[in-house]
Structure 1
Amino acid sequence: MTIGRFNIELLEAFVAVAEAGNVTHAGSKLNRTQPCVSTQLRRLEERVGKPLIERNARTMNLTAAGRILYQHATDILKSHDEARLRLSAPELTGTVHVGLPEWYATGQLQSIFCNFVKIHPNVKLEMTVADSATLHEMLSNNEINLAIALVSPSRAKPAGVVEEPLHWAVSESCPLTDPLPLILFPEPCPFRELAFSALARAGKQWYERITTTSVAAAQVAVLSGAGISCLPSGAILDGFKILKEHNGFPSLPSTELAIYTQSKTQSPIVDYLEVHLNDLLESAIAPRSALAGKMQPDLRVV
């Protein structure tokens, strides 16, 4: 069987539905009408020669062919977007110093900055990995130009705030009997009070078994079975067990991430990064990203 050539707009519609979970939300994301998205899905299935999505009265699920195409389509769209950026990007020259939270230092957000310097070969990138409190202080002292950091109550809330879920992370070998052994980050980490408040509401006892400034150290401690930690999606590793309400653990509120810039006059590089980074940040913690795990999208009709 010969497969027809793929059209970017048809792939965009398919991926948007796979990520949004329904045609209506996908249309809103793409600024297209629901009938338009449905038509584009049908045209793509005709070109593939196989159904990509199974539909019934309540749910939508990717078929085996749909799962295969989804993996390739995301790569195709990523390359397409990078090509458009490179062709449309202004000529930038100079140095930019950015800050990242540690749990993103080796993940998708770091790759965003690496792609930025690929697109702008005359830009030198300096990167600092630290906790959000340190990044906010460095911004105030004009030691870095831009940072992705947890929203600070002491600073004006910027536009484009993105939420990231928090999870109770543990290994199978860790006992879940009271008092619970906790693996936490020191003050002023906001995860601490969120964890304490949630456990208190659930009537659970705990003690602080390990306190570390390192996300990597906390991850190793969790994997070893030393205790339970409260971690954002970006810090969840393969091998972690996520505890939920049916396990007796209360749900945690989402964290808020935002892009902050220094108080002094910004350079054209920082201006450009700030404008384009918000969409990239949202994409990096969308359900399809590595930050949420390599799972088939759960498609539901709303």
Structure 2
Amino acid sequence: MTIGRFNIELLEAFVAVAEAGNVTHAGTRLNRTQPCVSTQLRRLEERVGKPLIERNARTMDLTPAGRILYQHATEILRSHEEARLRLSAPELTGTVHVGLPEWYATGQLQSIFCNFVRIHPNVKLEMTVADSATLHDMLNANEINLAIALVSQGKPKPVEMVEEPLHWAVSDTCQLSDPLPLILFPEPCPFREIAFSALARSGRQWYERITTTSVAAAQVAVLSGAGISCLPSGAILEGFKLLKEQDGFPVLPATQLAIYTQSSSQSPIVDYLEGHLSELMQNTIAPRSALAGKMTPDLRVV
């Protein structure tokens, strides 16, 4: 059987459905109508000659052919987008220093920065990973040019923000009786007060078992069963159990993140990177952050 050439728009529709979980969400992501996405998916299946998605009463699952095509389609779209950006991007030269919270310094986000310097070979990228308070201080001191950071109460509220959920994270081996052993980050981490206030409102007792400045250390401590931590979606690992209201744990408010730049000395590199990252964050932060890393699509319809 001969398979016809792939059309970029058809591949975009297929990958969007695979990653969004259903046709409606995929249409929103692509700014296309639901009938349009359904038609494009059907056309792609006709071109391949095999079903790509198996539709059941409540679920959508990739078929074996769909899983093969998904792996290749994501690479095709990535290469297509890189070529488009390289051809349309302005010529940039110089150095840019960016700051990231530790839980955002993940493979997918770092690949975004690696693609950026590949598209702009005359740009040198310096990256600092630190807590949001430190990143704000570094911005104020003009030590970094741009940062993705938690919204600061001491600064004017950014026009564009994205929200990322917070979760109670634990392993199956951790005891959930009071007093609860907590794994926290030191002051001035805002997650501390959020956790304390939520537990106090629900009448739970707790004690601070581990305090660490490292997200990686907190993750290891959670996996080992040492305690419960309050973590953003981007820091949730496979193997974590997320506690809900039915487990006796209150709902946590979402964190607010924004892109901050220096108040002065803005450069064309920073302007371009700020716009690129803003679009990325608006499009990819979901109930479980896509910036946490590439995930195998799980097509359960909610």
Common topology (TM > 0.5): yes
SS for the counterpart of 1:27 is helix
Query: In the aligned structure 2, how far is the partner of 1:26 from the partner of 1:200?
Result: 40
Give the aligned partner of residue 153 of structure 1.
Answer: 153
SS for the counterpart of 1:147 is strand
Residues 265, 288 of structure 1: CA spacing in aligned structure 2 closer, same or farther, 3 A cutoff? closer
CA displacement 1:37-70 (0-9 Å, x = unmatched): 2211110110122222233565544334333333
Query: In the aligned structure 1, how far is the partner of 2:113 from the partner of 2:293?
Result: 20
CA displacement 1:202-234 (0-9 Å, x = unmatched): 322110111111112212221222111111122
Deviation at 1:25, TM superposition (A): 3.3
SS for the counterpart of 2:175 is coil
Letter in 1 for 2:276: H
Greater displacement, 65-74 / 215-224: 65-74
Asked if the contact 1:147/1:261 (under 8 Å) is kept, the reply is yes
Size of the aligned set, in residue pairs, is 301
Question: Which runs of 5 or more residues in structure 1 are unaligned?
Answer: none
Asked if the contact 1:67/1:296 (under 8 Å) is kept, the reply is no
Residues 173, 58 of structure 1: CA spacing in aligned structure 2 closer, same or farther, 3 A cutoff? closer
Query: In the aligned structure 1, how far is the partner of 2:262 from the partner of 2:249?
Result: 39
SS for the counterpart of 1:81 is helix
Give the aligned partner of residue 133 of structure 1.
Answer: 133
Does residue 270 in structure 1 map to residue 270 in structure 2? yes
Give the aligned partner of residue 169 of structure 1.
Answer: 169
Greater displacement, 47-56 / 179-188: 47-56
Where do residues 181-260 of structure 1 align in structure 2 (5 Å cutoff)? 181-260=181-260
CA displacement 1:152-192 (0-9 Å, x = unmatched): 12222223312212121122222112111000011111111
Letter in 2 for 1:67: R
Query: In the aligned structure 2, how far is the partner of 1:24 from the partner of 1:174?
Result: 39
Give the aligned partner of residue 298 of structure 1.
Answer: 299
Residues 262, 98 of structure 1: CA spacing in aligned structure 2 closer, same or farther, 3 A cutoff? same
Identical aligned residues as a percent: 82
Give the aligned partner of residue 290 of structure 2.
Answer: 289
Deviation at 1:30, TM superposition (A): 1.9
CA displacement 1:242-290 (0-9 Å, x = unmatched): 2223332222222111111000030110011111111223455445836
Where do residues 1-12 of structure 1 align in structure 2 (5 Å cutoff)? 1-12=1-12
RMSD: 2.2
SS for the counterpart of 1:117 is helix
Q: TM-score, length-normalised on structure 2? A: 0.91
Q: TM-score, length-normalised on structure 1? A: 0.91
Query: In the aligned structure 1, how far is the partner of 2:289 from the partner of 2:129?
Result: 25
Letter in 1 for 2:301: R
